[in-house]
Structure 1
Amino acid sequence: MFSEEDIKLETNNGVKRSAKFKSEVIINPFLRDKNYWDKENELFDKIKTAILTVLLVPIRIVCMFSLLLLAWCFAYIGIYGYSREDLKLKPLKGWRRKLRTLVGWIFRGMYVVGSAHYVKIKGKRADPKDAPILLGAPHTSFFDSLTVVLSGPSCVVGKVEAGDIPLFGKLIDMAQPIYVNREDHNSRQSTIQDILNRVKSNDDWPQTMIFPEGTCTNRTSLIQFKCGAFYPGLPIQPVLIRYPNKVDTFTWTWSGPDVMMLIWRTLAQFHTFVEIEYLPVYVPNDEEKKDPKLYAKNVQRLMSKELNIPTSDYTFDDCKLMENAVKSKLLFAEQLSDVQRFREKIGLAQSQIEEYIVKENFKGNEDYYLEFSEFVQRLKIPADNTSYTLFKFFVGASDIGDVIDFKEYLLHALFLIKYSEAKIELLKMMFMLYGESGRLQREPFVNNVMKHFVKIKADQLNKLFYSLDVNNVGSITFNDFYNATKDDKKFAVLYKPNQNFRQRHKDSQ
């Protein structure tokens, strides 16, 4: 989708000409509308929700909590005497396995009490010997765990932190999950090995349910599948998850309503409809067995076709990038992964011209509001739809019209360029971006620079600035700051390298 506009461009002889450019309409799978009401009947929806919140929701909460306690008791008994390492190595057998099935049915009862009365099952779940791995997508909600329950219950691959959740932790442990530490990239390899060990084992393991997207999305597309499920080269069964409800009270994305708000809205519904479809088992060919990325891409395409939604090249790393940008208080944090994509398309990620612009006598104490024609001239890039889309990401930071604050653009570009390095390297560039001749004044030091790096009150930053400005010239240099903070624990975070950095698409496991 594109939005077309007339833009004035200046030619080499100073004459302005008119040209039409289209900015691409980007649908980010990690964002969702914060309005979770019925847009056609919002007043009725709010009145209904208010009434059910008083009359129905408390009853549902009490019943669900009672079932949760009952399930926890059985889970505690079922894995008593087993460590997590024991549960990782051998499947439960005998009465423990039957107890595991009982816990699954109790958990299913929680969903029924919580409004999921209508669950439609399409297709047939394959025998574990025919398809040891189940692949669930799109992954959009906490409700997706119902698919795990109704599939055996199956084993899962999940965050290691999930096992420490009060009450739910025991239930998750009883599912004998393969835990992954998403902050530790070495954990990814061990997770793949754990999957291989299970699916190739002669033990009677239940099927393993994997959500290959690795994080929740808004169902507008299927993001890149992680390759962990595909390394064994064994047949898998795709499982489609749909929520055919008029009002979306499920979708839980990186940016949007928080989980407690969504749970409340779901509990305040009379009924919730869920549809789970088991597709035929996908048997990889020889080429796919040798190339897990090809295998993952082909299954992604198959599932997207059945879901009637497109595939996209977004990954979990994009989500982490935006999360870090929010923590750094970047104004356009939600657009940063798209900014990264378009910089790569244009070639800016390779040239990194923004860094040279800032280093070459950039006067950061001046305003830099640029129109599109000036924007492409500064960056030495063609004026086309791609560069215009990049430009449009930053329109809105000022009230001047269809212009951008070029310093905001440079800040976001520098954030991407220096993302793999310690924060002090970005801070060094920001001294040039907001200063002049390598010197930074007090106001931009406190309000424009340091707010992106440390949680220190303004009065303390002012105190630091004045202590560094020993000659009372009204400005400080980066070296002044560096020498004063390199051994200070309050600023230690600036000097630590970004251990979790990965180049986009380099590793999609």
Structure 2
Amino acid sequence: MWITRLCARCILFSFGYQWIKRKGRPAPREVAPIIVSNHVSYIEPIFYFYELFATIVASESHDSIPYVGTIIRAMQVIYVNRFVQSSRRQAIREIKRRASCDRFPRVLLFPEGTTTNGRNLISFQLGAFIPGYPIQPVIVRYPHVHFDQSWGNVSLGKLMFRMFTQFHNFFEVEYLPVISPLDDKETAVHFRERTSRAIATAMNAVQTGHSYGDIMLHMKAQEAKQENPSSFMVEMTKVESLFHISSTEAVDFLAKFLAMHPDPSGRVQYHDFLRVLRLKACPQSAKIFAFIDVEKSGTITFRQFLYGSAHVMTQPGFHQACEEAFAGCGGAVKAFIVEQEFRDFIQPSSPSWNEDEAHNLFMLFDDNNDGRIDKDDFLSCLRRNPLLIAFFIPQPQQKGLDVNEVIEIV
């Protein structure tokens, strides 16, 4: 194993990191079995392997990164798929198992879950804090004048090339005091907050409500060639806390929003909003759009679209309203509804719609184009397009349903 560590040192040297400035000291493994660090570049896993011989928690995709992938595998990596709950649970169990036994190396986590510019912190994931073991926070810095070494909007190949062609690159590491759980009753969330504050204070940085989910949104907007992809970042930590929707769901909402062809400023016009949701301009459609358009500007941003959609979807009566809508359309007596039943049910909320316009909305629900909508397809479509529930809310006289308890836009 010492040969692999020597290779790691040679890689650091070849990338221009001949002198590494250190402040503080790493705590003994028995004192702090878990290390957390901010994450700026792909250099940190190589350094920590050389310096601490630590086990890293990493995404499976990192295994294929040149040089870094080899080092990660040698670090007895704990792989995790952050989008699969069972994988996250398994990773936490493995972190706890290794941290509890002195036979294993330290466990290293980058709780931000992605690289940042090194000047700010984004929200920490909970994985390092749930096991409840003492943690040593570590800070890395890359002082520079001409070449920013952070792995942001630059390809890995270009970043490596710039490092190779620069005679010397600067790298600093600072070991902070160990942070231990206050007692058995301290939550992982509070433990995380204390640790992130310590790191942010030492960095003299601001911690934002952004998370890896915002990186996903940024990349999606970039793929769509939006002029300002950062305007589609919404501080997913706050969104998840407020509405309990996942980053994957937020990316799905962004895909729908991008289909509305936002202008260079990232705003969508009313007619494009109607086109994608297959709606006709009518009082009910106008009411839905006005609910999202909180600025009353006649256009909406992705943040407004996401917040409005998520707010509706997380209303206490939303799922009940979806179930009752399917039953009211004809699903109470059979396992599917047909187009005529669909049209008859939405007619009270859209009396001006003609047959073709109602058919267009029906086809949004009829995924397999077989002329009928089963319950799973109906409920799934409303989860993807929660604003449409406004057209399916039963009238107040039906079953005594209080519409205002279900959704605020009707």
Match of 2:8 in 1: 107
Answer yes or no: is 1:269 the counterpart of 2:166.
yes
Answer yes or no: is 1:242 the counterpart of 2:141.
yes
SS at structure 1 position matched to 2:29:
coil
Match of 2:42 in 1: 142
Q: Work out which of the residue numbers 229, 235, 251 in structure 1 matches 2:128.
A: 229
Match of 2:207 in 1: 311
Q: What code does the residue aligned with 1:125 have?
A: P
5 Å-filtered alignment, 1:31-430, equals 100-137=1-38, 139-165=39-65, 169-201=69-101, 203-253=102-152, 256-286=153-183, 290-326=186-222, 333-338=229-234, 363=281, 406-409=298-301, 413-414=304-305, 417-418=308-309
Structure 2 distance, partners of 1:232, 1:199, is 8
Structure 2 distance, partners of 1:226, 1:474, is 46
SS at structure 2 position matched to 1:320:
helix
Aligned length, in residue pairs: 307
Structure 2 distance, partners of 1:346, 1:153, is 39
Structure 2 distance, partners of 1:166, 1:206, is 24
Q: What code does the residue aligned with 2:2 have?
A: T
Structure 1 distance, partners of 2:67, 2:195, is 35
Q: Residues 369-403 of structure 1, C-alpha deviation per residue, up to 9 Å, x if partnerless?
A: xxxxxxx987685xxxxx6xxx9xxxxxxxxxxxx
What's the CA shift for 1:332? 5.9
Query: Taking structure 1 as reference, are residues 438 and 155 closer, same or farther at Cα in structure 2, changes over 3 Å only?
Result: farther
Q: What code does the residue aligned with 1:135 have?
A: V
CA contact (8 A) 1:221 1:310 kept: yes
Structure 1 distance, partners of 2:215, 2:178, is 30
Q: What code does the residue aligned with 1:307 have?
A: M
Q: Work out which of the residue numbers 348, 361, 368 in structure 2 matches 1:478.
A: 361
Q: What code does the residue aligned with 1:131 have?
A: A
SS at structure 2 position matched to 1:135:
strand
Query: Taking structure 1 as reference, are residues 246 and 362 closer, same or farther at Cα in structure 2, changes over 3 Å only?
Result: same
Q: What code does the residue aligned with 1:308 have?
A: N
Match of 2:346 in 1: none
Query: Taking structure 1 as reference, are residues 228 and 474 closer, same or farther at Cα in structure 2, changes over 3 Å only?
Result: closer
Q: Residues 163-209 of structure 1, C-alpha deviation per residue, up to 9 Å, x if partnerless?
A: 345675444222101110122122111111110111112x5111111
What's the CA shift for 1:267? 1.8
Q: What code does the residue aligned with 2:99 have?
A: V
SS at structure 1 position matched to 2:52:
coil
Structure 2 distance, partners of 1:161, 1:276, is 26
CA contact (8 A) 1:105 1:149 kept: no
Q: What code does the residue aligned with 1:106 have?
A: C
With normalisation by structure 1, the TM-score equals: 0.51
What's the CA shift for 1:159? 0.8
What's the CA shift for 1:243? 0.6
Match of 2:332 in 1: none
What's the CA shift for 1:337? 2.8
Structure 2 distance, partners of 1:174, 1:483, is 50
Q: What code does the residue aligned with 1:275 have?
A: E
Identical residues among aligned pairs (%): 25
Structure 1 distance, partners of 2:240, 2:53, is 43
Unaligned 5+ segments in structure 1 are: 1-99, 369-375, 382-386, 392-403, 426-436, 440-470, 489-494, 500-509
What's the CA shift for 1:151? 2.8
Match of 2:316 in 1: none
Structure 2 distance, partners of 1:484, 1:150, is 53
What's the CA shift for 1:270? 1.6
SS at structure 1 position matched to 2:233:
helix
Structure 2 distance, partners of 1:216, 1:128, is 26
Structure 2 distance, partners of 1:271, 1:277, is 20
Structure 1 distance, partners of 2:118, 2:96, is 29
CA contact (8 A) 1:236 1:282 kept: yes
Q: What code does the residue aligned with 1:133 have?
A: I
Q: What code does the residue aligned with 2:190 have?
A: L
Structure 2 distance, partners of 1:498, 1:319, is 26
CA contact (8 A) 1:160 1:179 kept: yes
Q: Residues 218-261 of structure 1, C-alpha deviation per residue, up to 9 Å, x if partnerless?
A: 223211111111122221111110111112431122xx222222
Q: What code does the residue aligned with 2:62 have?
A: A
Q: What code does the residue aligned with 1:314 have?
A: H
What's the CA shift for 1:346? 12
Q: What code does the residue aligned with 2:37 have?
A: G
With normalisation by structure 2, the TM-score equals: 0.62
CA root-mean-square deviation: 4.5
Query: Taking structure 1 as reference, are residues 197 and 238 closer, same or farther at Cα in structure 2, changes over 3 Å only?
Result: same
Query: Taking structure 1 as reference, are residues 116 and 497 closer, same or farther at Cα in structure 2, changes over 3 Å only?
Result: farther
What's the CA shift for 1:291? 0.7
Structure 1 distance, partners of 2:237, 2:43, is 31
Structure 2 distance, partners of 1:498, 1:257, is 38
Unaligned 5+ segments in structure 2 are: 246-268, 314-321, 323-351, 372-378, 384-410
